[in-house]
Amino acid sequence: MNFTYNETQDMLRDTLARFLADTYDFETRRKMVASDAGRDPGIWRALATELGILGAPFGEDQGGLGGGAVENMIVMEQVGEAIAIEPYLQTVVIGGGALKAAGGAQADALIPAIIGGEAIIAFAYAEPQGRYELRNLRTTAKRDGAGWVLNGHKAVVYAAPWATHLLVTARTGGGQRDTDGVSLFLIEANRPGIVRRDYPTVDGFRASEIYFENCSVPGEALLGAEGAALPLIEKLVDEATAAVCAEATGVMRRLHAGTMDYAKQRKQFGRAIADFQVLQHRMVDMFMEVEQAASMTLMATLKLDLPDAERMAAVSQAKAKVGKGLKFTGQNAIQIHGGIGITDELAIGHYFKRATMIEGQFGSVDHHLARFERLSMPE
Protein backbone atom coordinates (compact mmCIF):
# COMPACT_ATOMS: atom_id res chain seq x y z
CA MET A 1 0.00 0.00 0.00
CA ASN A 2 1.28 3.40 -0.93
CA PHE A 3 -0.76 6.62 -0.87
CA THR A 4 2.05 9.00 -1.76
CA TYR A 5 2.37 10.67 -5.13
CA ASN A 6 5.44 9.89 -7.20
CA GLU A 7 7.72 12.66 -8.42
CA THR A 8 5.89 13.15 -11.72
CA GLN A 9 2.54 13.35 -9.92
CA ASP A 10 3.89 15.87 -7.42
CA MET A 11 5.14 17.94 -10.30
CA LEU A 12 1.81 17.73 -12.12
CA ARG A 13 -0.03 19.01 -9.05
CA ASP A 14 2.46 21.76 -8.28
CA THR A 15 2.70 22.99 -11.86
CA LEU A 16 -1.07 23.16 -12.25
CA ALA A 17 -1.59 24.74 -8.84
CA ARG A 18 0.95 27.44 -9.65
CA PHE A 19 -0.52 28.07 -13.09
CA LEU A 20 -4.05 28.41 -11.70
CA ALA A 21 -2.91 30.64 -8.85
CA ASP A 22 -1.21 32.93 -11.39
CA THR A 23 -3.87 32.98 -14.10
CA TYR A 24 -7.19 31.98 -12.59
CA ASP A 25 -7.96 34.33 -9.75
CA PHE A 26 -11.60 34.94 -8.95
CA GLU A 27 -11.86 38.23 -10.86
CA THR A 28 -10.38 36.69 -14.01
CA ARG A 29 -12.83 33.81 -13.74
CA ARG A 30 -15.71 36.23 -13.26
CA LYS A 31 -14.78 38.09 -16.46
CA MET A 32 -14.50 34.86 -18.43
CA VAL A 33 -17.87 33.63 -17.22
CA ALA A 34 -19.51 36.94 -18.11
CA SER A 35 -17.93 37.16 -21.58
CA ASP A 36 -19.83 36.23 -24.75
CA ALA A 37 -17.90 33.00 -25.23
CA GLY A 38 -18.07 32.19 -21.53
CA ARG A 39 -14.43 31.16 -21.45
CA ASP A 40 -10.92 32.22 -22.42
CA PRO A 41 -9.60 29.79 -25.07
CA GLY A 42 -6.08 30.96 -24.26
CA ILE A 43 -6.22 29.15 -20.91
CA TRP A 44 -7.06 25.83 -22.56
CA ARG A 45 -4.27 26.39 -25.08
CA ALA A 46 -1.83 27.08 -22.27
CA LEU A 47 -2.92 23.95 -20.39
CA ALA A 48 -2.16 21.99 -23.57
CA THR A 49 1.01 23.59 -24.86
CA GLU A 50 2.72 25.32 -21.93
CA LEU A 51 1.84 22.81 -19.22
CA GLY A 52 1.23 19.71 -21.33
CA ILE A 53 -1.41 18.71 -18.82
CA LEU A 54 -4.14 17.58 -21.22
CA GLY A 55 -2.03 14.49 -21.92
CA ALA A 56 -1.90 13.49 -18.23
CA PRO A 57 -3.92 10.25 -18.45
CA PHE A 58 -2.80 9.14 -21.93
CA GLY A 59 -0.03 6.70 -22.85
CA GLU A 60 3.37 8.01 -23.84
CA ASP A 61 3.02 6.22 -27.18
CA GLN A 62 0.10 8.58 -27.91
CA GLY A 63 2.01 11.65 -26.82
CA GLY A 64 0.65 11.67 -23.27
CA LEU A 65 2.34 11.68 -19.87
CA GLY A 66 1.68 7.99 -19.26
CA GLY A 67 -0.70 8.46 -16.35
CA GLY A 68 -4.26 7.40 -15.64
CA ALA A 69 -7.04 7.88 -13.11
CA VAL A 70 -4.74 9.15 -10.36
CA GLU A 71 -3.49 11.90 -12.69
CA ASN A 72 -7.09 12.84 -13.47
CA MET A 73 -7.78 13.00 -9.74
CA ILE A 74 -4.83 15.32 -9.21
CA VAL A 75 -5.94 17.65 -12.00
CA MET A 76 -9.61 17.65 -10.97
CA GLU A 77 -8.81 18.53 -7.37
CA GLN A 78 -6.95 21.60 -8.62
CA VAL A 79 -9.84 22.39 -10.97
CA GLY A 80 -12.07 22.34 -7.89
CA GLU A 81 -9.81 24.59 -5.86
CA ALA A 82 -9.94 27.20 -8.62
CA ILE A 83 -13.60 26.47 -9.54
CA ALA A 84 -12.15 26.41 -13.05
CA ILE A 85 -14.66 26.11 -15.88
CA GLU A 86 -12.20 24.40 -18.24
CA PRO A 87 -13.73 21.31 -19.91
CA TYR A 88 -11.11 18.86 -18.59
CA LEU A 89 -13.76 16.51 -17.21
CA GLN A 90 -15.71 16.34 -20.46
CA THR A 91 -12.78 16.32 -22.87
CA VAL A 92 -9.97 14.44 -21.15
CA VAL A 93 -11.65 12.29 -18.50
CA ILE A 94 -14.80 11.28 -20.40
CA GLY A 95 -13.97 11.85 -24.07
CA GLY A 96 -10.39 10.66 -23.63
CA GLY A 97 -11.59 7.72 -21.55
CA ALA A 98 -14.00 6.64 -24.27
CA LEU A 99 -11.33 6.84 -26.95
CA LYS A 100 -8.79 4.95 -24.85
CA ALA A 101 -11.33 2.19 -24.23
CA ALA A 102 -12.49 1.95 -27.84
CA GLY A 103 -9.12 2.29 -29.55
CA GLY A 104 -8.98 2.18 -33.35
CA ALA A 105 -8.68 4.88 -35.95
CA GLN A 106 -10.89 7.44 -34.17
CA ALA A 107 -8.69 7.19 -31.08
CA ASP A 108 -5.46 7.45 -33.04
CA ALA A 109 -6.71 10.57 -34.77
CA LEU A 110 -8.38 12.32 -31.87
CA ILE A 111 -6.25 11.64 -28.78
CA PRO A 112 -3.34 13.74 -30.13
CA ALA A 113 -5.86 16.52 -30.87
CA ILE A 114 -7.10 16.38 -27.28
CA ILE A 115 -3.57 16.49 -25.92
CA GLY A 116 -2.77 19.40 -28.24
CA GLY A 117 -5.82 21.35 -27.07
CA GLU A 118 -7.46 21.39 -30.51
CA ALA A 119 -10.32 19.02 -29.69
CA ILE A 120 -12.96 19.70 -27.05
CA ILE A 121 -15.48 16.95 -26.39
CA ALA A 122 -18.88 17.30 -24.72
CA PHE A 123 -20.74 14.31 -23.30
CA ALA A 124 -24.37 14.20 -24.46
CA TYR A 125 -25.83 11.43 -22.31
CA ALA A 126 -28.66 12.90 -20.22
CA GLU A 127 -32.23 13.13 -21.50
CA PRO A 128 -35.20 15.03 -20.09
CA GLN A 129 -37.02 11.88 -18.96
CA GLY A 130 -33.99 9.87 -17.92
CA ARG A 131 -32.83 11.38 -14.63
CA TYR A 132 -29.65 9.48 -13.67
CA GLU A 133 -30.50 6.25 -15.47
CA LEU A 134 -27.91 5.92 -18.22
CA ARG A 135 -29.84 3.37 -20.29
CA ASN A 136 -33.07 5.41 -20.27
CA LEU A 137 -32.78 6.69 -23.85
CA ARG A 138 -35.19 7.98 -26.43
CA THR A 139 -32.49 9.25 -28.75
CA THR A 140 -32.17 6.78 -31.61
CA ALA A 141 -29.52 5.97 -34.17
CA LYS A 142 -30.75 4.05 -37.21
CA ARG A 143 -28.57 2.40 -39.82
CA ASP A 144 -28.49 4.23 -43.12
CA GLY A 145 -26.23 2.56 -45.66
CA ALA A 146 -22.74 2.58 -44.20
CA GLY A 147 -23.64 5.30 -41.70
CA TRP A 148 -26.23 6.24 -39.08
CA VAL A 149 -29.04 8.74 -38.66
CA LEU A 150 -29.61 10.25 -35.20
CA ASN A 151 -32.82 11.68 -33.78
CA GLY A 152 -33.55 12.87 -30.25
CA HIS A 153 -33.08 15.46 -27.52
CA LYS A 154 -30.10 15.57 -25.15
CA ALA A 155 -30.43 17.61 -21.96
CA VAL A 156 -28.03 20.00 -20.22
CA VAL A 157 -24.87 19.07 -22.15
CA TYR A 158 -22.07 20.86 -20.30
CA ALA A 159 -19.38 22.44 -22.52
CA ALA A 160 -21.36 21.73 -25.72
CA PRO A 161 -21.17 25.36 -26.97
CA TRP A 162 -17.36 25.03 -26.99
CA ALA A 163 -17.12 21.50 -28.30
CA THR A 164 -15.55 20.28 -31.53
CA HIS A 165 -16.99 16.80 -30.93
CA LEU A 166 -19.96 15.28 -29.16
CA LEU A 167 -19.90 11.93 -27.40
CA VAL A 168 -23.49 10.74 -27.71
CA THR A 169 -25.40 7.83 -26.19
CA ALA A 170 -28.21 6.57 -28.41
CA ARG A 171 -30.43 3.59 -28.82
CA THR A 172 -29.71 1.34 -31.83
CA GLY A 173 -32.19 -1.26 -30.62
CA GLY A 174 -34.44 -2.32 -27.75
CA GLY A 175 -36.96 -0.37 -25.70
CA GLN A 176 -36.46 2.90 -23.83
CA ARG A 177 -35.05 1.34 -20.66
CA ASP A 178 -33.50 -1.85 -22.02
CA THR A 179 -29.94 -2.79 -21.16
CA ASP A 180 -29.29 -4.01 -24.67
CA GLY A 181 -29.42 -1.79 -27.71
CA VAL A 182 -27.40 1.12 -26.30
CA SER A 183 -24.59 2.48 -28.47
CA LEU A 184 -22.00 5.22 -28.20
CA PHE A 185 -21.11 7.66 -30.99
CA LEU A 186 -18.41 10.25 -31.33
CA ILE A 187 -19.41 12.85 -33.89
CA GLU A 188 -18.29 16.22 -35.10
CA ALA A 189 -20.21 18.96 -33.32
CA ASN A 190 -20.91 20.97 -36.46
CA ARG A 191 -22.65 18.25 -38.49
CA PRO A 192 -25.86 19.21 -40.27
CA GLY A 193 -28.92 18.09 -38.34
CA ILE A 194 -27.59 19.18 -34.94
CA VAL A 195 -29.58 22.03 -33.40
CA ARG A 196 -28.24 23.58 -30.23
CA ARG A 197 -29.78 25.91 -27.72
CA ASP A 198 -26.95 27.33 -25.61
CA TYR A 199 -27.19 28.86 -22.15
CA PRO A 200 -25.12 29.62 -19.06
CA THR A 201 -25.43 27.35 -16.04
CA VAL A 202 -25.82 28.51 -12.46
CA ASP A 203 -22.29 27.35 -11.65
CA GLY A 204 -20.56 29.38 -14.36
CA PHE A 205 -20.31 26.90 -17.22
CA ARG A 206 -21.99 26.94 -20.62
CA ALA A 207 -24.28 24.12 -21.67
CA SER A 208 -26.78 23.27 -24.40
CA GLU A 209 -29.94 21.45 -25.16
CA ILE A 210 -29.07 19.41 -28.23
CA TYR A 211 -31.61 18.25 -30.77
CA PHE A 212 -30.65 15.70 -33.41
CA GLU A 213 -32.90 16.12 -36.42
CA ASN A 214 -32.14 13.39 -38.93
CA CYS A 215 -28.45 13.94 -38.33
CA SER A 216 -26.37 11.68 -40.61
CA VAL A 217 -23.05 10.43 -39.29
CA PRO A 218 -20.51 8.08 -40.92
CA GLY A 219 -20.17 4.46 -39.86
CA GLU A 220 -16.90 5.06 -38.06
CA ALA A 221 -18.66 7.39 -35.60
CA LEU A 222 -19.73 4.29 -33.68
CA LEU A 223 -17.42 3.70 -30.68
CA GLY A 224 -17.28 0.16 -29.33
CA ALA A 225 -19.82 -2.54 -30.06
CA GLU A 226 -23.18 -1.77 -31.62
CA GLY A 227 -25.99 -2.17 -29.10
CA ALA A 228 -23.65 -3.32 -26.33
CA ALA A 229 -22.07 -0.09 -25.14
CA LEU A 230 -23.85 0.21 -21.79
CA PRO A 231 -21.05 -1.39 -19.73
CA LEU A 232 -18.56 0.98 -21.33
CA ILE A 233 -20.83 3.98 -20.69
CA GLU A 234 -21.28 2.93 -17.06
CA LYS A 235 -17.53 2.69 -16.64
CA LEU A 236 -16.99 6.10 -18.24
CA VAL A 237 -19.57 7.66 -15.94
CA ASP A 238 -18.00 6.01 -12.90
CA GLU A 239 -14.63 7.43 -13.92
CA ALA A 240 -16.27 10.83 -14.36
CA THR A 241 -17.98 10.48 -10.98
CA ALA A 242 -14.66 9.75 -9.27
CA ALA A 243 -13.26 12.80 -11.06
CA VAL A 244 -16.02 15.10 -9.79
CA CYS A 245 -15.45 13.69 -6.29
CA ALA A 246 -11.87 14.94 -6.66
CA GLU A 247 -13.16 18.29 -7.88
CA ALA A 248 -15.54 18.33 -4.91
CA THR A 249 -12.63 17.77 -2.54
CA GLY A 250 -10.93 20.86 -3.94
CA VAL A 251 -14.13 22.90 -3.75
CA MET A 252 -14.81 21.82 -0.16
CA ARG A 253 -11.24 22.52 0.89
CA ARG A 254 -11.62 26.11 -0.30
CA LEU A 255 -15.07 26.47 1.27
CA HIS A 256 -13.59 25.40 4.58
CA ALA A 257 -10.43 27.50 4.29
CA GLY A 258 -12.37 30.59 3.19
CA THR A 259 -14.75 30.19 6.10
CA MET A 260 -11.89 29.81 8.60
CA ASP A 261 -10.24 32.97 7.28
CA TYR A 262 -13.47 34.92 7.50
CA ALA A 263 -14.38 33.68 10.97
CA LYS A 264 -10.99 34.71 12.29
CA GLN A 265 -11.25 38.28 11.05
CA ARG A 266 -15.00 38.95 11.45
CA LYS A 267 -15.69 40.51 14.85
CA GLN A 268 -19.05 40.56 16.62
CA PHE A 269 -19.75 41.00 20.33
CA GLY A 270 -16.21 42.32 20.73
CA ARG A 271 -14.37 39.23 19.49
CA ALA A 272 -13.69 37.16 16.39
CA ILE A 273 -16.65 34.91 15.64
CA ALA A 274 -14.12 32.04 15.39
CA ASP A 275 -13.93 32.28 19.18
CA PHE A 276 -17.49 31.03 19.57
CA GLN A 277 -17.54 27.34 20.37
CA VAL A 278 -20.68 26.63 18.38
CA LEU A 279 -18.94 27.91 15.24
CA GLN A 280 -15.68 26.16 16.13
CA HIS A 281 -17.45 22.82 16.25
CA ARG A 282 -19.19 23.57 12.97
CA MET A 283 -15.84 24.30 11.32
CA VAL A 284 -14.43 21.10 12.80
CA ASP A 285 -17.34 19.17 11.28
CA MET A 286 -16.66 20.84 7.93
CA PHE A 287 -12.99 19.88 8.21
CA MET A 288 -13.95 16.26 8.84
CA GLU A 289 -16.16 16.28 5.75
CA VAL A 290 -13.26 17.59 3.63
CA GLU A 291 -10.91 14.89 4.91
CA GLN A 292 -13.44 12.13 4.34
CA ALA A 293 -14.12 13.43 0.83
CA ALA A 294 -10.41 13.19 0.07
CA SER A 295 -10.33 9.65 1.47
CA MET A 296 -13.38 8.46 -0.46
CA THR A 297 -12.09 10.04 -3.67
CA LEU A 298 -8.80 8.21 -3.32
CA MET A 299 -10.57 4.93 -2.54
CA ALA A 300 -12.89 5.20 -5.55
CA THR A 301 -10.12 6.32 -7.91
CA LEU A 302 -7.91 3.37 -6.98
CA LYS A 303 -10.80 0.94 -7.55
CA LEU A 304 -11.84 2.16 -11.01
CA ASP A 305 -10.22 -0.81 -12.75
CA LEU A 306 -11.69 -3.53 -10.50
CA PRO A 307 -14.50 -5.76 -11.83
CA ASP A 308 -17.72 -3.86 -12.58
CA ALA A 309 -19.64 -4.61 -9.37
CA GLU A 310 -16.74 -3.64 -7.12
CA ARG A 311 -16.04 -0.50 -9.10
CA MET A 312 -19.69 0.57 -8.98
CA ALA A 313 -19.97 -0.06 -5.25
CA ALA A 314 -16.82 1.94 -4.58
CA VAL A 315 -17.87 4.88 -6.73
CA SER A 316 -21.37 4.98 -5.27
CA GLN A 317 -20.02 4.93 -1.73
CA ALA A 318 -17.75 7.82 -2.59
CA LYS A 319 -20.37 9.94 -4.35
CA ALA A 320 -22.99 9.39 -1.63
CA LYS A 321 -20.53 10.43 1.06
CA VAL A 322 -19.09 13.35 -0.90
CA GLY A 323 -22.58 14.56 -1.87
CA LYS A 324 -23.60 14.85 1.76
CA GLY A 325 -20.31 16.52 2.60
CA LEU A 326 -20.80 19.05 -0.19
CA LYS A 327 -24.19 20.08 1.16
CA PHE A 328 -23.00 20.35 4.75
CA THR A 329 -19.80 22.21 3.90
CA GLY A 330 -21.45 24.54 1.40
CA GLN A 331 -24.42 25.46 3.54
CA ASN A 332 -22.31 26.09 6.61
CA ALA A 333 -19.74 28.12 4.71
CA ILE A 334 -22.57 30.48 3.74
CA GLN A 335 -24.15 30.40 7.19
CA ILE A 336 -20.91 31.32 8.96
CA HIS A 337 -20.24 34.11 6.46
CA GLY A 338 -23.72 35.50 7.09
CA GLY A 339 -25.28 37.92 4.61
CA ILE A 340 -22.02 38.59 2.81
CA GLY A 341 -21.91 34.90 1.84
CA ILE A 342 -25.03 35.30 -0.28
CA THR A 343 -23.62 38.16 -2.36
CA ASP A 344 -22.37 37.64 -5.87
CA GLU A 345 -19.26 39.64 -4.98
CA LEU A 346 -17.47 37.07 -2.83
CA ALA A 347 -15.88 33.91 -4.20
CA ILE A 348 -17.37 31.79 -1.42
CA GLY A 349 -20.86 31.91 -2.92
CA HIS A 350 -19.54 30.72 -6.27
CA TYR A 351 -17.83 27.76 -4.59
CA PHE A 352 -21.16 27.02 -2.92
CA LYS A 353 -22.94 27.08 -6.29
CA ARG A 354 -20.45 24.68 -7.85
CA ALA A 355 -20.64 22.46 -4.75
CA THR A 356 -24.43 22.37 -5.14
CA MET A 357 -24.25 21.35 -8.77
CA ILE A 358 -21.64 18.63 -8.15
CA GLU A 359 -24.02 17.19 -5.59
CA GLY A 360 -26.41 16.23 -8.38
CA GLN A 361 -23.89 15.59 -11.14
CA PHE A 362 -23.84 11.92 -12.26
CA GLY A 363 -26.34 11.03 -9.56
CA SER A 364 -27.70 12.44 -6.32
CA VAL A 365 -26.94 11.04 -2.88
CA ASP A 366 -30.16 8.99 -3.04
CA HIS A 367 -29.25 7.57 -6.44
CA HIS A 368 -25.86 6.37 -5.25
CA LEU A 369 -27.17 5.12 -1.91
CA ALA A 370 -29.70 3.03 -3.80
CA ARG A 371 -27.09 1.66 -6.19
CA PHE A 372 -24.77 0.79 -3.30
CA GLU A 373 -27.63 -0.92 -1.46
CA ARG A 374 -28.46 -3.02 -4.53
CA LEU A 375 -24.83 -4.10 -4.85
CA SER A 376 -24.01 -4.64 -1.18
CA MET A 377 -27.33 -6.13 -0.03
CA PRO A 378 -28.84 -7.92 -3.04
CA GLU A 379 -32.39 -9.18 -2.48
Interface with another protein (CB under 8 A):
126, 128-133, 136, 155-156, 158, 177, 197, 199-203, 207, 209, 267-270, 273, 276, 278-279, 327, 331, 334-335, 338-339, 341-345, 349, 352-353, 356-357, 360, 364, 366, 369-370
CB 52 within 8 A of CB 65: yes
Nearer to another protein, 146 or 278 (CB): 278
Q: Are 252 and 244 in contact (CB under 8 A)?
A: no
CB of 58 to another protein, least distance (A): 29
CA 49-54-60 angle, to 5 degrees, is 95
Closest separation in Å from C-beta 21 to another protein: 25
Cβ within 8 Å of residue 309, ≥6 positions away: 375
User: For residue 265, which of 255, 256, 277, 274 has the smallest C-alpha distance?
Assistant: 274
What three-state secondary structure class fits 154? Answer: strand
Q: b or e along 151-165 (b: 16 or more beta carbons within 10 Å of the residue's beta carbon)? A: bbbbebbbbbbbbbb
Cα-to-chain-centroid distance, residue 168? 16
Closer to another protein at the Cβ: 75 or 126? 126
Phi, psi torsion values for 168, nearest 5 degrees: -120, 130
CA-based Rg of the chain, rounded to a whole angstrom?
Answer: 21
Give whichever of 185 and 352 is closer to another protein, judged by the CB atom. 352
**Least Å distance between CB 26 and another protein?**
14
Closest CB to another protein among residues 133, 220 = 133
Helix (H) or strand (E) holding 36: none
Shortest Å distance, C-beta 197 to another protein? 7
Amino acid at 129: Q
* Shortest Cβ 218–another protein spacing (Å): 29
Pick 18 or 197: Cβ nearer another protein: 197
Backbone angles phi, psi at 125, to 5 degrees: -120, -30
Choose between 252 and 294: whose C-beta lies nearer to another protein.
252
Q: Select 136 or 151, whichever has its Cβ closest to another protein.
A: 136
Q: Within 10 A of 271 (CB to CB), how many other CB atoms are there?
A: 9
